Amino acid sequence: MKAIASLVVFLVASAGLAQGFKVVTVDDLYRALPDPKTFVIDVRTPQEYARGHVPGAVNWPLQQIEQWWSKVPKDRVVYVKCNTQNRSRVAVQYLLSRGYRNLNLVTGGIQAWMARGYPTTR
């Protein structure tokens, strides 16, 4: 069963690379947080964000992407997350279409983050 799960993660990650972004885990994000080049975007609603988010993450809801996409720093490594990864994937695709690179789609979102016991901010 573990081998199947590893294969699924590999296939999802490979698909992401082919599309111009990386698919990463919450463990990868946790290790990247101390790096000042890391920029985390939480695309959940303000209500979801208020219940707990990754420390330092900005809350730019997917529903308002046309208002904030141009503020995404192109000189940083961007991690996009949501509750699981569905909205994040939409946001990453949108940013790719606008010429952004250095994008990372965080699999599992805040649910996986909290399941690992990583810190959250309210």
pLDDT recorded at residue 90: 97
Q: Are 107 and 79 in contact (CB under 8 A)?
A: no
C-alpha pair distances (Å), 82 with each of 29, 75, 86, 113, 119: 13, 22, 7, 10, 16
pLDDT recorded at residue 19: 67
Task: Return per-residue pLDDT of the chain as tens, 122 residues.
Answer: 454 444 344 444 444 445 689 999 999 999 999 999 999 999 999 999 999 999 999 999 999 999 999 999 999 999 999 999 999 999 999 999 999 999 999 999 999 999 999 999 99
pLDDT recorded at residue 94: 98
Q: Are 107 and 24 in contact (CB under 8 A)?
A: yes
Active site residues: 82
Question: What is the reported pTM?
Answer: 0.84
Quote the CA–CA distance of 39 and 43 in Å, as a whole number. 13
Q: Which domains does the chain have, with CATH numbers?
A: 2-115 (3.40.250.10)
pLDDT recorded at residue 20: 83
Q: Are 85 and 41 in contact (CB under 8 A)?
A: no
Would the CA dihedral through 113, 40, 108, 47 be positive or negative?
positive
pLDDT recorded at residue 102: 94
In terms of DSSP bridges, do strands 58-59 and 22-24 run parallel, antiparallel, or are they unpaired? unpaired
